[in-house]
Chain A
Amino acid sequence: MRHVEKQPDVTKTKPLTEPVVFILLSLADEPRHGYALMKDIEALSGGRVRLRTGTLYGALRRLLEEAWIERFQQSDTSREKQAYRLTSFGRKQLQLELDRMKQLTRAASSRLKTREV
């Protein structure tokens, strides 16, 4: 009998905070170190979200604990410039969050349309 993996219910997943979503999105395309993450998040959000160092590393600590991201040493950088990358579990969680957002957007759009009619 073939094992079929049950699809997680996106409505039951806990929404992620904005900094966490931006960190995961920033790490989705390539690994980055702390300051590069801050700059990329600022660019991603069009200058709206500027993460402070304390906020960024607090979020990174939580994500490391949850094993959504991992640290690794880039060969061309010093000890302090550890880079972070998304784990496959982290990528799955980001996908779940994006699905949740899509569902919310669809529901909101349909409500707005019915209101306009």
Chain B
Amino acid sequence: MSAQRVFAVLLYLYPNDYSALFAGEMIIAFQQGCNEHRIQGRAPFVRFVIAELAGLIIRMPAEWIAKLTTDTSTRGRALPDLRKMRPAGVPYELWFAAAGMNYRQTSLPLEVAQAQERVTFLMNAMVHAINNHDFQAARSYSYEEYRQRDKVELLKKKYGLEQ
């Protein structure tokens, strides 16, 4: 098994989002390093490979700890959320048409469905803020949610959906 292959296999053991973003670049950087050290002789090449593989193994728990302890919103700024990525081969139009399916499946008018979605979003944001002990933000989400619920009620009245 070549050094590159071992390196690539070790990268599979890293968190999914991390390897999805960096694996390609890391393999290229490792290959460039290998090529450079191979010219210098066998001993520097072996030393380089051992140090790189050991470094990769040592960093692995740190990356898992970072994944498990970092807030998803913070991590999502840099690393892709694989669950939200459009799978290969699925056309752009089809993927985003499917994203709007919830609105079409319900019998509610679009305006009401969107307002209800907003209530759910605000509730989740409030719970998230409470979990992070950010009570000021939680209060503002709670106030916004209260207003949004009133809006839903008004919209239901408008469309005759009070029952």
Which residues of chain B are within 8 angstroms of A56 by Cβ–Cβ distance?
29
Shortest distance from the beta carbon of A60 to any chain B beta carbon, whole Å: 8
Give the interface segment out of A8-16, A74-82, A89-97, A106-114: A74-82
Measured between alpha carbons, how far is A65 from B78 in the docked complex, in Å? 5
Task: Please state if A54 and B59 are interface contacts (CB–CB under 8 Å).
Answer: yes
**The residue from A54, A64, A81 contacting B25, defined by CB atoms under 8 A apart:** A81
Point out which of B22, B52, B77 has the most chain A C-beta atoms below 10 A from its C-beta: B22
Shortest distance from the beta carbon of B97 to any chain A beta carbon, whole Å: 27
Which residues of chain B are within 8 angstroms of A72 by Cβ–Cβ distance?
none
Which residues of chain A are within 8 angstroms of B75 by Cβ–Cβ distance?
65
Measured between alpha carbons, how far is A64 from B79 in the docked complex, in Å? 8
Task: Please state if B78 and A54 are interface contacts (CB–CB under 8 Å).
Answer: no
Shortest distance from the beta carbon of B4 to any chain A beta carbon, whole Å: 12
Chain B facing A: main interface SS: helix
Q: Number of residues in B with C-beta < 8 Å to the partner?
A: 28
Range class of the A interface residue count: 20 to 34
Q: Does A38 contact B (CB under 8 A)?
A: yes
Which residues of chain A are within 8 angstroms of B55 by Cβ–Cβ distance?
52-55
Q: Does B58 contact A (CB under 8 A)?
A: yes
Q: Does B120 contact A (CB under 8 A)?
A: no
Measured between alpha carbons, how far is A38 from B62 in the docked complex, in Å? 20
Chain A facing B: main interface SS: helix
Shortest distance from the beta carbon of A86 to any chain B beta carbon, whole Å: 15
Which residues of chain A are within 8 angstroms of B60 by Cβ–Cβ distance?
54
Measured between alpha carbons, how far is A82 from B29 in the docked complex, in Å? 12
Residue-wise interface mask of B (70-111) relative to A, using a CB-CB cutoff of 8 A (1 in contact, 0 not) = 100011011100000000000000000000000000000000
Task: Please state if A61 and B66 are interface contacts (CB–CB under 8 Å).
Answer: yes
Which residues of chain B are within 8 angstroms of A79 by Cβ–Cβ distance?
24
Shortest distance from the beta carbon of B75 to any chain A beta carbon, whole Å: 6
Known interface pairs A55-B55, A61-B18, A65-B75. Does A82 touch B25 (Cβ–Cβ under 8 Å)? yes
Residue-wise interface mask of A (31-75) relative to B, using a CB-CB cutoff of 8 A (1 in contact, 0 not) = 001110010000000000000111111101110110100000000
Which residues of chain B are within 8 angstroms of A54 by Cβ–Cβ distance?
26, 52, 55-56, 58-60
**The residue from B27, B51, B58, B78 contacting A64, defined by CB atoms under 8 A apart:** B78
Q: Does B63 contact A (CB under 8 A)?
A: yes
Known interface pairs A52-B55, A53-B55, A57-B26. Does A35 touch B33 (Cβ–Cβ under 8 Å)? yes
Within 8 A of A (CB), among B110-151: none
Shortest distance from the beta carbon of A27 to any chain B beta carbon, whole Å: 15
Point out which of B28, B51, B75 has the most chain A C-beta atoms below 10 A from its C-beta: B28
